[in-house]
Structure 1
Amino acid sequence: MAKVSMSVNGKPVTGEVEGRTLLVQFLREGLGLTGTHVGCDTSQCGACVVHVDGRAVKACAIFAAEAEGAEVTTIEGMADADGSLSTIQQAFQDHHGLQCGFCTPGMVMSAAALLAENPKPSEAEVRDYLEGNLCRCTGYHNIVKAIMAASGQDVAIAAE
């Protein structure tokens, strides 16, 4: 066992982990932050996307020890300071960018990373960026509309 320390959603945390403990396991099992989902365990679906030092990372693809000293943000850390939904979360709700909700945390985290890099992405750029996030329910159209809306763009530009 090794000690690991990092900041998660703005709070310092420390825990004991085995060398093989994945970041997603540490977040869910060690810290009780179950909003980060485990969908495939193979880094294919994107349900486990979190931000590590501002970068979107699939938490099933890195070890907890690799996040030593890092600033980690999970879906639980995306709400506004007053507890209300962030702009991106609200856009997903307003534009029905979810159905079953399983992929939603990873989609929101990926969307936040995209908008931090590119505040006004085109529809094609949104679709390209989401390539590593799978959704089996929505067909992506409303997810793309939600991200376009969160960027302040007219959702009518998203193809019907």
Structure 2
Amino acid sequence: MLEEVRTKCDAEVLSFKLGEEEYGINILSVQEIRGCDLVTRIANAPTYVKGVINLRGIIVPIVDMRIKFNVGTPTYDQFTVVIILNIGQQVIGIVVDSVSDVVTLSADQIKAAPQMSAAVDMDFVQGLGTIGDRMLILLDIDKLMCSEELGLITTLHKHAA
């Protein structure tokens, strides 16, 4: 997966914070960014699934990434946002502490992630993006949302091999 990221001339990622760490996801997966609205809870949902919202007639599940990645006790304030993703023709929202900016990374700014145990399952990490002193953990958000554990997306459109 890292090679796919590296083969492109530039990768545009939306950077956001979870706790003290900064993450990045492919900007092409992002539909919109919203304030953190009230959600309708779903009985027996995992704790990281906050519930659902009605987004212009579409029922959207909302995942709190801070709970999913176990990065402290989440607080909901004026900086807390929901990133609405469009993955495999399905719409999902993720709650993050704040959105930083859109960053363009060149191939030489993207490094392989070290193999180690971490709060983030390394299967979902595409690499590490470096911008000066900043380091972004680049997530494969499609793969994460399609994971068996989350089970939010059952099928993802297949790319031609």
Q: TM-score, normalised by structure 2?
A: 0.28
Higher relative contact order (Cα pairs below 8 Å, separated by 6+ residues): 2
- Of Structure 1 and Structure 2, which has the larger fraction of its residues in strand? 2
Q: TM-score, normalised by structure 1?
A: 0.28
- Of Structure 1 and Structure 2, which has the larger fraction of its residues in helix? 1
